[in-house]
């Protein structure tokens, strides 16, 4: 190639120019001198068994049934794929009929199996909260130890969804774990969330060389010195700690982990109780106290990895949404922690609005570090922040956040939308300097695609605000990636809610008044979150929303408890019929659930309260069967253990 370029480079230039022209016409990117193309607005991706099942079948083909996860090493959490698999069974019945009930259950089981395996693996920091980026082993035992805000924020969304579907205390434990990590280690005291923690660090103070995972690994001797003769054997068995280390030489080419152990849960209190001849509650207490001792030793003796203290708007948007949803879900049984999470979210949102948003030009700036950077926000900054603000509105019903989301959506459209081409959003601002080509982000990667999230935001805002121009833009955005999605649907999982919404529409629930309205709000917060529903609350103070949404002009002014169901451009009043979330059909919440509530007698506290951590152990592994086996002997915070709610409605009663 180098020889050809030196002697005959003109043909290569011609080929490149031709390729650019073809890709521009297909809408991949926009060159500076490009003729505009008419936009054809319609939902063209069919809800067929071939299209939908293809996504599930590809996941099943690459699924690791033994360890969870997909594909070969290195193994990434793949949040977008897990979210798609979890939510597939929460779509309206027409989608389930096309995909198949068994396939939907299999999809959910693949996701929950993966989440459990990750939670027990070395990718999870069992002493100090949070997840690393990825695992270099198939069984999640040896991670690349860097911790990212965007990974943990996405995983919080997914573990929360998994808990809402299963009412599994192990998954709730991980929700608390990630929530604590985001609101402590990664939380900026004056608002916002930091970006990451490095993988490398000094093993102890005075060392001259950093090495990967030094902050997180342990030797057997350290366990003996820190834990003492009674606790050490139990925690070593629990976490798979060995004298010669638990990292295989084939995964340690440079002997960085010689005689070192990465903690991963390989046993359970019942098994340890039988092995050591102790009562189960004694084992649980030993594990709890031992983890507290290990944490104290680590914080005192180890050098913490360097913190990347940038505030990145897009990643903060994901965290705002995840923590807002978490705060709403746990409010009913752990109001204290809910308030802490919500306070952190509000602080972050206010910080971004005050420091990274120019009100006069309606422009976001991407990064803050000791002051605002000069870089204007990219399309993903708008997309992820808008999504987070919608979640924050549905958690707080403070219409100011919805108002800001609406302003940001209009700004994203004016600055990034391909009005004259094939639709969808370019990644860069139309006036960005030094940009030769404007690209469009369509495929999911470590983060969901900008256009997938944007299309979902547009549908949600269209439902909340009765703005058909938003749903029109959502349809155009989906259509912009039609050919690729039809060929490789599993690479575009974040578009799935918008594809279905384009066919079936959104359904919004609006409540007013006290009493019965509060009951519906609590039901909505506890129900599995479906991809096609929105939720709003109205009273006499909601002047902006009343003006913005013509369907709500007079609703809620009298203060009477009422429920509106809004879809397809009209609203109907449902009176005092109970609405367990946004459901496919209105059913009474008093109906008996077909899923058993969590056995609170099996839940035990086993973690140091000072860090508000949670760990999880279980004796029964989930199976790729129609039903997941129930988990027992799990560990969650005491406050949550007192009153974890049962499922609010029948198994077939789901959010739309």
Give how far the C-alpha of residue 245 lies from the chain's centroid of Cα atoms, to the nearest Å: 33
Distance CA 143, CA 267 (A): 20
**Residue listed under structure tokens 């390989």:** 266
Give the N- to C-terminal CA distance of the chain in Å, as an integer: 54
Residue that wins the pLDDT comparison between 530 and 223: 223
- Report, as an integer, the average pLDDT of 483-495: 91
**What tokens were used for 215?**
């902050």
- State the CB neighbour count (10 A cutoff) for residue 344: 25
Sequence ranges of the domains in the chain: 1-48+417-505, 207-308, 508-590
Q: Quick one: which of 432, 288, 405, 411 has its CA closest to 360?
A: 411
pLDDT higher than 60, residue 603: no
**What tokens were used for 179?**
């929530």
Question: Is the link from the previous residue into 74 a cis peptide, with omega within 30 of 0?
Answer: yes
Q: Under a CB-based contact definition with an 8 Å cutoff, are residues 298 and 215 in contact? A: yes
In the three-class reduction of DSSP (H, G, I as helix; E, B as strand; rest coil), residue 339 is classed as helix
Distance CA 303, CA 197 (A): 12
Residue that wins the pLDDT comparison between 216 and 607: 216
pLDDT in tens, 539-552: 889 999 999 999 99
Confidence of residue 9 (pLDDT cuts 50, 70, 90): low
Angle (CA) 578 593 630, round 5° = 140
**Residue listed under structure tokens 């507290």:** 292
pLDDT in tens, 57-70: 899 999 999 999 99
Orientation of helix 149-166 relative to helix 313-330, angle to 10°? 30
Would you list the DSSP string of 557-588? TT---EEEEEETTEEEE-TT---SSSBSS---
435 to 425, 426, 492: CA distances (angstroms): 15, 12, 26
pLDDT in tens, 241-258: 999 999 999 999 888 899
- Which residues lie closer than 8 Å to 528 by C-beta, 6 or more apart? 90, 161, 164, 165, 581, 654, 655
- Report, as an integer, the average pLDDT of 587-605: 32
Confidence of residue 15 (pLDDT cuts 50, 70, 90): low
Residue that wins the pLDDT comparison between 576 and 588: 576
Bridge partner residues of 603 (DSSP): 634
Average pLDDT, the chain: 83
pTM over 0.95: no
**Dihedral angle of Cα 386, 655, 325, 411, to the nearest 10 degrees:** 0
pLDDT in tens, 254-286: 888 999 999 999 999 999 999 999 999 999 999
**What tokens were used for 214?**
């030094």
In the three-class reduction of DSSP (H, G, I as helix; E, B as strand; rest coil), residue 182 is classed as helix
Residue that wins the pLDDT comparison between 101 and 208: 101
The confidence score (pLDDT) of residue 642 equals 41
């Amino acid at each position: 190639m180098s020889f050809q370029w030196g002697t005959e480079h003109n043909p290569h230039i011609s080929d490149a120019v031709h390729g650019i022209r073809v890709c521009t016409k297909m809408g991949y990117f926009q060159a500076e001198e490009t003729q505009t193309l008419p936009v054809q607005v319609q939902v063209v991706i069919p809800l067929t068994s071939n299209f939908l099942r293809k996504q599930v079948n590809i996941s099943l083909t690459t699924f690791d049934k033994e360890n969870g996860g997909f594909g070969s090493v290195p193994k990434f959490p793949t949040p977008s794929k897990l979210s798609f698999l979890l939510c597939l069974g929460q779509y309206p019945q027409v989608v389930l009929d096309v995909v198949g009930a068994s396939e939907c259950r299999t999809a959910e089981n693949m996701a929950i199996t993966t989440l459990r395996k990750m939670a027990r693996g070395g990718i999870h920091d069992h002493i100090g909260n949070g997840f690393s980026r990825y695992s270099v082993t198939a069984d999640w035992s040896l991670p690349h130890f860097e911790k990212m805000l965007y990974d943990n924020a996405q995983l919080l969304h997914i573990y929360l969804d998994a808990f809402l579907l299963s009412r599994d205390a192990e998954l709730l434990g991980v929700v608390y774990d990630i929530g604590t990590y985001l609101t402590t280690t990664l939380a900026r005291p004056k608002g916002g969330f930091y970006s990451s923690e490095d993988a490398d660090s000094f093993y102890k103070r005075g060392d001259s060389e950093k090495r990967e995972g030094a902050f997180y690994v342990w030797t057997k001797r350290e366990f003996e010195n820190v834990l003492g003769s009674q606790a050490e054997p139990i925690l070593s068995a629990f976490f798979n700690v060995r004298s010669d280390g638990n990292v295989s030489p084939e995964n340690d080419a440079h002997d960085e982990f010689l005689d070192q152990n990465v903690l991963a849960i390989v046993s359970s209190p019942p098994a340890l109780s039988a092995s050591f001849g102790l009562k189960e509650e004694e084992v649980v207490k030993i594990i709890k106290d031992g983890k507290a001792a290990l944490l104290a030793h680590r914080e005192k003796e180890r050098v913490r990895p360097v913190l990347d203290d940038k505030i990145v708007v897009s990643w903060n948007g994901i965290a705002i949404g995840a923590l807002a949803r978490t705060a709403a879900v746990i409010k009913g049984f752990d109001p204290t922690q809910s308030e802490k999470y919500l306070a952190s979210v509000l602080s972050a949102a206010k910080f971004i609005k005050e420091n990274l948003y120019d009100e006069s030009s309606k422009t976001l700036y991407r990064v803050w570090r000791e002051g605002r950077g000069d870089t204007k926000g990219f399309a993903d900054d708008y997309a992820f922040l808008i999504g987070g603000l919608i979640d924050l509105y549905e958690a707080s019903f403070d219409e100011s956040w919805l108002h800001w989301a609406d302003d940001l959506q209009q700004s994203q459209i004016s600055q990034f939308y391909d009005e004259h081409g094939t639709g969808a959003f370019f990644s860069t601002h139309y006036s960005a300097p030094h940009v030769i080509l404007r690209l469009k982000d369509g495929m999911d990667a470590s983060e969901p695609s900008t256009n997938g999230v944007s299309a979902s935001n547009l549908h949600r805002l269209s439902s909340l605000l009765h703005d058909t121009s938003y749903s029109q833009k959502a349809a155009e955005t989906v259509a912009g990636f039609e050919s690729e999605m039809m060929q490789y649907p599993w690479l575009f999982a974040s578009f799935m809610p918008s594809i279905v919404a384009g066919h079936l529409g959104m359904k919004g629930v609006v409540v007013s008044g006290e009493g019965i309205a509060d009951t519906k709000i609590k039901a909505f917060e506890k129900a599995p979150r479906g991809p096609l529903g929105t939720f709003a609350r109205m009273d006499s103070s909601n002047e902006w929303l009343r003006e913005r949404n013509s369907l709500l002009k007079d609703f809620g002014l009298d203060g009477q408890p009422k429920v509106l169901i809004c879809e397809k451009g009209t609203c109907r009043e449902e009176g005092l019929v109970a609405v367990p979330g946004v459901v496919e059909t209105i059913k009474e919440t008093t109906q008996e659930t077909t899923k058993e509530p969590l056995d609170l007698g099996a839940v035990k506290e086993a973690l140091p309260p000072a860090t508000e951590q949670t760990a999880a152990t279980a004796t029964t592994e989930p199976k790729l069967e129609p039903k997941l086996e129930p988990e027992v002997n799990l560990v969650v915070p005491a406050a949550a253990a007192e009153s974890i709610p049962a499922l609010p409605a029948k198994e077939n009663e789901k959010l739309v």
